[in-house]
Amino acid sequence: MTSIQVDSRTFDFPDGWLVTKYDDTAYYNNQFKGKARKSRGLKKEMKALDLIVLNPTDGMLYLIESKDYRTYRRKKEESPADEYIHKVIDTLTGILPTALCGKRNRYGKHIDAGEDTLHRQLHLVNQLRMVLHFEQPQKSSKLFPHAYDLSDIQSKIRCELGMIDKHALVIDANTQHKVPWMVN
């Protein structure tokens, strides 16, 4: 089993799966983080999803973002669906050169171990699945209400990014049985 920490959550993946914490790779941090892109006329910083995970048995590449608002309320103005959509687009923009450039970066230097795993992942992909793991407080209260309907978030993601994955998932602790890994 491969375990990886993302903020306050631990993701446990089956043995043999290739797991990359994309926003921690030198490639993302050196080439994309802090760079601006235009989105609907506004300049925004390039963002990254938390995890890129490959099941080498079936070639399914999972693009995973984890959000945990059980303790601290969400303060961003952008909707969770829009934030995830932008991260998916930015991540796909970032990983395409990795697949094409091989084991050397644009300066001809060998890439680090995290980038090597990512490079190997991308050459084994047959399918793509987008997953947003979104936690809200268990009990709704005046202080921490359930502000978001997961099915609404999922519908918007599927509508906007259906050409990439028309079966994108938005899950929480109660629905994590829909994916082949565990989150604690």
Would you kindly state where each structural domain of the chain is located, as residue ranges? 2-183
Work out whether strand 60-68 and strand 127-135 pair parallel, antiparallel, or are unpaired.
parallel
At 112-167, the pLDDT tens digits run 555 566 666 777 789 999 999 998 876 666 665 557 889 999 999 999 999 999 99
At 55-70, the pLDDT tens digits run 999 999 999 999 988 7
Contact (CB, 8 A) for 98 and 77: no
pLDDT score for 141: 61
Average pLDDT of the chain? 83
Of residues 49 and 112, more confidently modeled: 49
